[in-house]
Amino acid sequence: MSISTSDFRNGLVVESDKGLIEIVEFQHVKPGKGPAFVRTKFKNLLSGRVIEKTFRSGEKFEEARVESQTWQYLYTDGDLYHFMHNETYEQLGVGADLVGDNSRWMKENSNVTILFHNGKAISLAVPLSVELTITKSDPGVQGDRSSGATKPATLETGVTIQVPLFLEEGEVVKVDTRTGDYLERINK
């Protein structure tokens, strides 16, 4: 299906000379002189790079047919990550290059979203926040909570983040996967 720049919206995936690109941000600009244009920031789904480009208003693109599916992370075998579809129980192995830094937030049996184009996995995303257990940290300290003092803590996936001083090993914390920031303690 052919679309033009007037159809742009965040999250739209189109085919271009650069391959499959997902529109992250866009702005229609009508200067006082000259033709209108669209300033766009997009992510190349194959390379993962974010690029800024300007298109003429009305320029045509081919909308890409992508399908988003929820899969459960099972285990890692060398450089291959194994997933299972939540409804069909079909299993899929993808390379570390597709998973990238998302592996820091994936624990066994957690769900991820995989984008497919023509039956091929092209992108993987973890939820915006995850709940992980602290496996290594200095002993908890009661004290000045208003100053926001933090200490390093290693989580069950192996990633180290900064957490408040009062948290101890074995506690579950909620972490923002975009920034790696501690959000809150989860009482279980």
Structure tokens, 83: 């997933």
Domain with CATH 2.40.50.140 in the chain: 66-125, 129-186
Structure tokens, 22: 């997902």
What pLDDT is stored for residue 16 in this prediction?
A: 79
* Fold of the 66-125 domain: OB fold (Dihydrolipoamide Acetyltransferase, E2P) (2.40.50)
Nearest to 15 by CA among 50, 42, 38: 42
Task: Specify the CATH number of the domain 129-186.
Answer: 2.40.50.140
What pLDDT is stored for residue 144 in this prediction?
A: 54
Query: Domain 2-63 classified CATH 2.30.30.30?
Result: yes
The span from the CA of 125 to the CA of 123, in Å, is 7
Instruction: List per-residue pLDDT tens for the chain, 188 residues long.
Output: 788 888 888 878 888 777 888 888 999 888 888 888 999 998 887 777 888 988 888 888 888 888 889 999 999 998 899 999 999 999 999 998 888 889 999 999 999 999 888 888 888 889 999 999 999 998 866 665 556 788 899 999 999 999 988 888 999 999 999 899 999 999 86
The sign of the CA dihedral 141, 156, 98, 91 is: negative
What pLDDT is stored for residue 173 in this prediction?
A: 95
Burial label, 29 (beta-carbon count in 10 A; 0-12, 13-18, 19+): exposed
Sheet with 60-63, edge to edge strand ranges? 2-4, 60-63, 13-16, 19-29, 37-44, 50-56
Do you know the residue count of the chain? 188
3-state secondary structure of 96: helix
Burial label, 1 (beta-carbon count in 10 A; 0-12, 13-18, 19+): exposed
Domain with CATH 2.30.30.30 in the chain: 2-63
Residue 94: which residues within 8 A CB-CB, separation 6 or more? 80, 81, 83, 114, 121, 124
